[in-house]
Chain A
Amino acid sequence: MNTEMLQLAMKITGYGCAIASGLGSAEWLFILRTHRFATALLLRKPHRSSYVTTLLWVRMMCALAIAFLLPSQEFLLAPLSISVVASIIVYWNISKGLEVADFFLLGMLACLCLYYSHIEEMIATTTPWIIASMAVLSYETAGWSKFFSPIWGTGEALRGIIGTTTFGAPFTILVRSPKISKIVEKLVISLECGYVTIFLLPERLLILVVLLWMLFHLSVAIIMGLNLFFLSYASAYPSIVLVWSSLHQ
């Protein structure tokens, strides 16, 4: 694996994770501060909210430190490790409201810890493979569960999701048509189920498919408001491209 490419990929992943971690922490802090009842609803032990809040601040500061230290890479392991520890404690104290993107982000931060530990070259070169495995498993799980779902593929699922205020948007009126919704659903299922074939694609097609996936995540962020999904999953793409290039050497 090309060392320069590996370094660049990990740097991009690092920036993506830093932004996602910082933004995620800021959102949690905001929601716990603005809605008083949220402490009771979201936390396992509401009386420990100040403790969780402190850890969220630590996590946010670590995200800033990661972004700041990434160019030089000196002392980077400290904020990364603290960020992972803080995330684990915060997630443990949160009872409800966590989403898959949070755990994906935690996995990515752990992988960055592995890479920047500089213990063994083998560990460093394995890191993109682990990130790519997490991404592939995530997409495959989402795809196959949709494939076996009695609702997905009938045109009802997307219409239902987009029909809500929570995840809907006014300009997605097209998806409310059962036929279009059915086509889009089948497209999503086939793309997710066939995600693993990304490693078999030729170079030009790979660029196109990666751009399509970026566009998909961006549209999910814009329409559904799932911003962390975009940031954390997009951070995995440098590793996916790196694994692809290793396989095609």
Chain B
Amino acid sequence: MGVLSTFAVLLSVPIVTLILFSQLRSLSMCRFGPYRHSDVLTSNLPDWRLFAPLPFNVDHHLLGKQASPEGWQVVWSPKTWSIIRSYWNPDRRIAAALQQGENELVAYARASVPIQSSAIFAQLCLAAEMWSETEKPNSLHISFLASKPVESQIKLREYTLILSARADCT
């Protein structure tokens, strides 16, 4: 029995156990709401309840605003469907990140904890700073917001602001 084989087994067994445990944990959470995270350790485990109990029924857009009054600019927006998306779709990572960020902000708001202390707020601040450096080298005041359409009114209305994370990165 080689060293590599032993290493592979020692590496694989905990991973497989952890994945099976996270699946069982998600299965036990089926009857409860989406924000039932009991502690820090288990809240970092993957949630296997695909598109449930609340389905992903919104589009998230990342908009930036410069200090100079140029209005809102689209930093990132979901791309419309094309056949390429079925085998090459890196943009869904940003969509997932914004969805997870929204969940985080909602959880903070529900717990009456200032959103400024959330990780997503700090991340948006830094994202704003980076975007500012890329797009307009001299502007620093950026606001970021994630928006989504009104629920149940599919593509009938334009986007409604539901949360905004102001990031003054001066």
Contact = CB atoms under 8 A, between A and B. Distances in A.
A123 B27 CA distance: 26
B130 A167 contact: no
B1 A100 contact: no
B53 A100 contact: no
B16 interface: yes
A110 interface: yes
Contacts, number: 238
A155 B59 CA distance: 19
A88 B94 CA distance: 20
A28 B79 CA distance: 17
Contact of B89 (A27, A84, A168): A27
B15 A81 contact: no
Nearest to B126: A40
B134 A151 contact: no
Given A95-B119, A110-B15, A149-B52, A161 B57 contact: yes
A165 to B, nearest CB: 4
A100 B19 CA distance: 10
Interface residues of B, number: 78
A116 interface: yes
Interface in A97-113: 97-100, 103-104, 106-107, 110-111, 113
Nearest to B9: A117
Contacts of A141: 23, 26-27, 30, 48-50
Contacts of B29: 145
A183 interface: no
A222 interface: yes
Interface in B145-160: 151-152, 154-155
A193 to B, nearest CB: 10
A113 B11 contact: yes
B81 A170 contact: yes
Interface residues of A, number: 79
A248 interface: no
Nearest to B5: A117
Contacts of B1: 119
Interface in A25-67: 27-28, 30-31, 34-42, 46
A99 B56 CA distance: 13
Interface stretch (A2-10, A131-139, A208-216, A235-243): A131-139
A12 to B, nearest CB: 19
B40 interface: no
A195 B60 CA distance: 32
Interface of A: 23, 27-28, 30-31, 34-42, 46, 77-78, 80-81, 84-85, 88, 95-100, 103-104, 106-107, 110-111, 113-114, 116-119, 123, 130, 133-134, 137-138, 140-142, 144-152, 156-161, 163-170, 176, 221-223, 225-227
14 contacts: A34-B90, A35-B94, A37-B134, A38-B94, A40-B126, A40-B129, A98-B96, A134-B19, A141-B48, A142-B48, A156-B152, A158-B55, A163-B155, A167-B56
